[in-house]
Amino acid sequence: MVLLNRQRRRPVQPARLRRLLQGAAQALGVSGEVALVLTRDPAVRALNARYRGKDKPTDVLSFPGPGGNVGLGDIVVSVDTAERNARRLGRSLQRELDVLALHGFLHVLGYDHETDDGTMDRLERRLRRKLL
> Each residue of 96-115: pLDDT tens digit?
999 999 999 999 999 999 89
pLDDT of residue 47: 98
CA distance 39 to 37: 6
CA distance 123 to 3: 23
Q: Predicted confidence band at 12 (pLDDT cuts at 50, 70, 90)?
A: very high
Query: What is the domain partition of the chain in residue ranges?
Result: 2-131
- Do 4 and 37 meet the contact criterion of CB atoms below 8 Å apart? yes
As a whole number, mean pLDDT of residues 83-107 equals 98
Closest CA to 67 of 106, 105, 109: 109
Closest CA to 60 of 25, 101, 7: 101
With 70 as the cut, is the pLDDT of residue 69 above it? no
Fold for the domain defined by 2-131: Collagenase (Catalytic Domain) (3.40.390)
